[in-house]
Amino acid sequence: MAVIRCEKCGPPKDMKFSYVHPHQLVSDASYRIFCGTANCVQLAVACWLTDEEEQRYVGGQRLFAIPFHRPVRVT
């Protein structure tokens, strides 16, 4: 499952999976997504993918599931 972060929080650290592939979120004015870091209230700007998710991205997938939200679209 992909994770999202704001610019300030940056890449995810100390997680069960390694998230090393950043992609920009496609903005949707009707739906705001906030950073997935605890206690952060900034809007998310990046979606971080695992190696497995990156392979699906390379294969053409652009919608990814994130915790507690509907799937997000990345560029």
40: amino acid identity, one letter: C
Instruction: Tell me the three state secondary structure of residue 30.
Output: coil
Segment 49-73 mean pLDDT = 94
Question: pTM of this prediction?
Answer: 0.89
Domain that holds residue 30: 1-75
Residue 28 has pLDDT above 90, yes or no: no
The answer to whether residue 9 scores a pLDDT higher than 90 is yes
Give 27's pLDDT tier (boundaries 50, 70, 90): confident
